[in-house]
Amino acid sequence: MAWPGALIPEALRTLFKEKATVLYPFERIERAEGYRGKWSLDLDACIGCGTCQRVCPSFAIEMVETDKTKTGKKPVMRLDHCCFCAQCAESCPVDAITLTKEYELAAPEKEKLLVE
Amino acid sequence: MGIISRLVKWSRVKSPWILHFNSGGCNGCDIEIIAALTPRFDVERFGILLKGTPRHADVIIASGPVTRQTQARLRRIYDQVPEPKFVMVVGSCGASGEVFKGCYNCLGGIDSTIPVDMYVPGCPPPPEAIIDGVVKLLAKVGGEESG
Amino acid sequence: MDNQMERETEVGETWAREEEIVRDLRSVLGEKLLEAEIPTKRRVFVKVAEGAHREAISMLVDSGVWHLSTISGVDTGDGFEVVYHIFDHNRGVEVNIKSPVPRDNPEIQTITDLIPGSSIYEREIMDLLGIRFPGHPNPRRVILPEDWPPDQYPLRKDWKPEQLTKASRRYAEIPTKPGQVILQVGPQHPALKEPINFEVVVEGEVVVDFIPHIEYNHRGVEKAFEERTYLQGIYLAERICGICGHSHTTVFVEAVEQLADVRAPPRGRFIRTIVAEMERIHSHILWLGVAMHLIGWDTMLMYSWRDREVIMDLLELVSGNRVNYAMNTLGGVRRDIRNDQIHKIRKGLDILEKRTLEYRDICLKEDTLMKRALGVGIVKPELAKKMCAVGPLIRSSGVKTDVRYDDPSVGCYEELSGHWSVVTSDLCDIVGRVLVRVDEVLESIKMLRWMLDNLPNGPIREKVPKKIPEGEAVARYEAPRGEVIHYIRSNGTDKPDRVKVRAPTWGNYSAIFESMKGLYIADIPINFGSIDPCMACASRTTFVDVSHSKPKKWTWTMEQLVEYGIRWYENRGYKR
């Protein structure tokens, strides 16, 4: 038999339990191990081969001139293009790229979203 | 009327009402925007309400690479929102097209059609990042007037 | 039931059922059957002469076959080819009938009289490739935007985006009788989802006709696949849909593995299926909350999405992101599952099972839901089969069909058979769809527990060459909304020649739009929401009221429609 307010007993039960809300930004949820957040490059390990640029599905990585790597090029990443798939980190032959746990990346202009 | 305009600016920053528009994306960002309203994240603590009509909104939250069919509608909605208005783009495909770059029906991001005040990259950004974007936008608004 | 018994006894013989189909087709077509190929289990590819496709399809329809998965159009360079993908439930085999179409006169006879559900697929090919189907009952534009120039066909190989000229904006005129009112529900609404536009012809309060416009979310993804490598294509496939992205990558990767003749190792296939079932749980709980919101019962939205966070945390633990898991790669999966993660998953499943049983109980007791949804939006099994519906929609009409059961070629469903059962309901209405989805969550939890108990050891991926040999492959899977099918043709390079994607909601449109006729305006949101629509479409509903002397036309957003529905029922004494 149906009656309105079938959720009321459930609601009364949760009245005395702890709240479900996480008070962001005063409390934060710990992100899981292996979370795919902001891109970061270890420039000492990078050899400038360009594999990351070739496999990126959203064409977010560009190779620019530098004098710190063997081939004279290093990757820069535009975060507004990145799809956070970690394919570049997986394909890198020297493991120079990692994806960190940082996710608060809002910015008012697109230029601020360039990561070197 | 310095004190009135300061009062108005204070109340606008304290509880912005938002309008959500999906311009043809995959819905990942839209689901995270709705998850921001649910108990675990609860943006209503900040006074943010999700409104249905553009006439009541202060901030447009847009997502998705703009498709040809939605471009005119997006422009019309932007014109219908009363001044002062702000636009926040959620997701990387709203910022630049992302994986849809080069698709024949996509025009490459929300800023091809309307001016944007804040970008939140991610695919999709978690609800905390969206709240962080709104907070940064309000800080920018409280600091200066923008149209 | 009989299908499963048959299959178990035939495990030793590999191609018996497939060869039987080829023999039957040859006996009907004779010389007109040009080629026949059986590349793998449960797949038959035949090529027929021009004009002979109708004979082949009527032979299959007469022998009891009713399900058309999709129709693909391919530009082969010197001509076109139209491929009909038909699933034979009796034998559990997908039959793909290829029919050539000449380039200078691209016409091929329609099959809408044999299988009415093919209408929307033929309209899509008319739009994208320019092939005509004489005899089609409704040859209107369905997927390209309204201001697309009429003679440009994007999926042709010689078309480039630079050729696109700006055409004048033309809104399609709806013929209205005197006293008809057109109600527009705009592409922007707050409740979620995508823009879609319906034009609804109403007589007073009752819907007489329903014309949808679903072109808002068309992005041109099929053409984009041809310009990306297979590896890049995986991430594009994932973003076809944000809620069932893993299903699209699973099917894409399985089809490429079929072409490369590589099978993922057992542990990889198990992990793929574990993530897929977790995705099903998250999608169904999401739908439950949203559907209750469309009725006006917002409390249930908040409670169910609070519990959905349990599965979202587990998915983030396993894959690294709450949405867009990117677990699949060519040849297997990218990440392994550790024992401490398995322990957390088990604890999460216990919580979810308890909560889901409580929700099932509450939903059946709640008066609001029963008054609004019992007996509304009836889709009888004959209509569902005629319109080739998929997923929980057809299972709630009592038809026992599920790709994981009929065609377990993806993931580890072959190992799983016998440890789970297909959920159906005989109610045929919205309450039936609620029950089917809630029970599917419970079945998924059962499957997950079995898979975690029996997870094999070993590697998680195999190597797949960069250049995929020439061939074609079809892969099907049961996404949370229904059957997803990808058809891929490769040409020996590292980029595909043609990728055809048919998402499950596309297959459900025809059935649900038929069921709208005769409903009240107030029931439109929940009836449309009951198929769990997954299209970025802004709903714009145009109502046409036929009962007044002067035609009246008005436009509503989806939120206004939902509010109207709530007020309409409240005025008749039903409280929220």
Give the residue with greater pLDDT, C29 vs C530.
C29
Phi (first) and psi of residue A88, to 5 degrees = -65, -40
Asked if C491 and C525 sit in the same domain, the reply is no
Please check whether residue C151 lies inside any domain of the structure: no
Give the burial class of A111: count Cβ atoms within 10 A of its Cβ; 0-12 exposed, 13-18 middle, 19 or more buried: exposed
Range of the domain at B103: 16-138
Mean pLDDT of C547-568: 64
Answer yes or no: is A79 within a domain: yes
Identity of residue C126: M
- Write out the H or E segment, with its range, that includes residue C6: helix C2-9
Domain count, chain C: 3
Question: C124-147 pLDDT, tens per residue?
Answer: 899 888 899 999 988 888 888 777
Residue B7: band (very low, low, confident or very high) from pLDDT cuts 50, 70, 90: confident
Tell me how far apart the terminal alpha carbons of chain A are, to the nearest angstrom.
64
Q: Token pair of C255, please?
A: 């089809």
B117 interface with A at CB cutoff 8 Å? yes
Phi and psi dihedrals of C357, rounded to 5? Answer: -65, -35
Judge whether C167 lies within some domain. no
For residue B121, pLDDT beyond 80:
yes
pLDDT > 90 fraction of chain A, expressed in percent and rounded: 20
pLDDT tens digits for range C312-348: 999 999 998 998 899 999 999 999 999 999 999 999 9
Contact (CB<8Å) B22/C189:
no
| Alpha helices by DSSP H, B24-126 | 28-35, 68-80, 92-96
**Bridge partner list, C473:** C488
CB-CB contact of C430 with C436 (8 Å): no
Residues B35-63 have pLDDT tens digits of: 888 888 888 888 888 887 888 888 899 98
Nearest to C536 among B27, B52, B102 (CB): B27
What residues have CB less than 8 Å from C133, skipping those under 6 apart?
A: C107, C108, C109, C110, C122, C125, C126, C139
| C218/B69 Cβ within 8 A | yes
Q: What is the CATH number of the domain that holds B101?
A: 3.40.50.12280
Which residues neighbour A107 within 8 Å (Cβ) at sequence distance 6 or greater? Answer: A113, B118, B119, B121
| Assigned domain for C172 exists | no
Pairing of strands C541-545, C197-203: parallel
How many CB pairs lie under 8 A apart between chains B and C?
Answer: 147
Q: What is the pLDDT of residue C165?
A: 63
In a domain, B144, yes or no: no
User: With 60 as the cut, is the pLDDT of residue C99 above it?
Assistant: yes
Find the residue in C nearest to A4 (Cα). C367
- Residue of C235, C306, C371 lying closest to A57 (CB–CB): C235
Nearest C-alpha neighbor of B45 from the set A29, A17, A21, C307: A21
Report the domain count for chain B: 1
Task: Indicate the number of domains in chain A.
Answer: 1
Residue C268 has pLDDT above 90, yes or no: yes
Whole-angstrom CA distances from C60 to C10, C112, C480 are: 22, 14, 28
Provide the shortest C-alpha distance from residue C248 to chain B (in Å): 12
Q: Which two tokens stand for residue C384?
A: 């569902």
Neighbours of chain A (3+ CB pairs under 8 A): B, C
Using pLDDT thresholds of 50, 70 and 90, give the confidence band for residue C191.
Answer: very low
Q: Which among B24, B31, B51 has CB closest to C190?
A: B51
Q: Looking at beta carbons, which residues of chain C come within 8 Å of B40?
A: 306, 309
Is the pLDDT at C168 greater than 70, yes or no?
A: no
Tell me the C-alpha to C-alpha distance, in Å, between residue B19 and each of B59, B86, B89, C187.
6, 11, 12, 13
Burial-class residue B14 by CB neighbours within 10 Å (0-12, 13-18, 19+): exposed
Strands B17-22 and A114-115: unpaired
pLDDT value at C85 more than 90: yes
Place of tokens 């002067």: C550
3-state SS record for C74-92? EECCCCEEEEEEEEECCCC
As a whole number of angstroms, the distance between CA B136 and CA B146 comes to 14
Rounded Cα gap, residues C213 and C219, in angstroms: 15
The residue out of C123, C143, C163 marking a domain boundary is: C143
Structural element, H or E, at residue A13: helix A8-14
| Neighboring chain C residues of B23 at a CB cutoff of 8 Å | 195, 536
Q: Is residue B4 part of a domain?
A: no
Q: How far apart are CA C373 and CA C368, in angstroms?
A: 8
CB contact under 8 A, A106 and B117: no
pLDDT at residue C552, rounded to an integer: 59
The pTM of the full predicted model, rounded to 2 decimals, is 0.89
**Yes or no, beta carbons of B52 and C534 under 8 Å apart:** no
Identify the CA nearest to C355 among candidates C273, C300, C432: C300
Distance of CA C419 to the CA centre of its chain: 25
Of B41, B95, B131, the CB nearest to A110: B95
Query: CA separation (Å) from C427 to C292, C374, C399, C434?
Result: 18, 9, 11, 10
- Tell whether C185 and C322 lie within a shared domain: no
Q: Which domain holds residue C406?
A: 225-502
Residue among C84, C216, C81 at smallest CA distance from C146: C216
Buried b (16+ CB within 10 A) or exposed e, B94-125: bbbbbbbbebbbbbbbbbebbebbbbbbbbbb
| End-to-end CA separation in angstroms for chain B | 20
- In which band, very low, low, confident or very high, does the pLDDT at B20 lie, cut at 50, 70 and 90? confident
Of C467, C501, C465, C509, whose CA–CA distance to C484 is shortest? C501
Q: How far is Cα C72 from Cα C98, in angstroms, rounded to an integer?
A: 9
Per-residue pLDDT band at B1 (split at 50, 70, 90): low
* Lowest model confidence (mean pLDDT) among A53-62, C86-95, C159-168: C159-168
Mutating which of C143, C147, C171, C217 best tests the B interface, going by the most B Cβ atoms within 10 A? C217
- What percent helix, strand, coil does chain A show, rounded to 5? 20, 20, 65
Question: Phi, psi (5° rounding) for residue C498?
Answer: -155, 135
pLDDT band at residue C6 under the 50/70/90 scheme: very low
Residue numbers in A near C366 (CB within 8 A):
2-7
Q: Could you read off the pLDDT of A76-90 as tens digits, one per residue?
A: 988 888 889 999 999
Detail the DSSP E strand segments found in C263-366.
328-329, 332-333
ipTM of the predicted structure?
A: 0.90
Report the amino acid identity of residue B61. Answer: I
How many whole angstroms from its chain centre is CA B56?
14
* A2 to C313: CB separation less than 8 angstroms, yes or no: no
DSSP secondary structure letters along C189-237: -TTSS-B-EEEEEEETTEEEEEEEE--TT---HHHHHTTS-HHHHHHHH
Contact B104 C220 (CB under 8 A): yes
Q: What is the pLDDT of residue C546?
A: 53
Report yes or no: C146 and C195 within 8 Å, Cβ to Cβ.
Answer: no
Give the containing element (helix H, strand E) for C45: strand C43-48
Do residues C404 and C514 share a domain?
A: no
Q: Is the pLDDT of residue C539 over 50?
A: no
Which candidate, B122, B44, C283, places its Cα nearest to that of A104? B122
Q: What percent of chain C has pLDDT over 70?
A: 86
Q: Taking residues C19-27, what's their average pLDDT? A: 89
Q: Report yes or no: C169 and C149 within 8 Å, Cβ to Cβ.
A: no
From CA C259, how far away is CA C488, in angstroms rounded?
A: 9
C506: left (phi over 0), alpha (psi -120 to 50) or beta: alpha
Q: Is residue A92 part of a domain?
A: yes
Q: How confident is the model at residue A10 (pLDDT cuts 50, 70, 90)?
A: confident
Tell me the pLDDT tens digit for each residue of B83-93. Answer: 888 999 999 88
Bridge partners (DSSP) listed for residue C174: none
C392 phi-psi bin (left φ>0, alpha ψ -120 to 50, beta other) = alpha
The highest-confidence range among B7-16, B24-33, C104-113, by mean pLDDT, is C104-113
Q: C-chain residues within 8 Å CB-CB of A84?
A: 321, 324
Count interface pairs A-C at CB distance under 8 A: 71
Domain containing residue A97 = 31-115
* Same domain (yes/no): C465, C448: yes
Q: Is residue A30 classed as helix, strand or coil in its secondary structure? A: coil
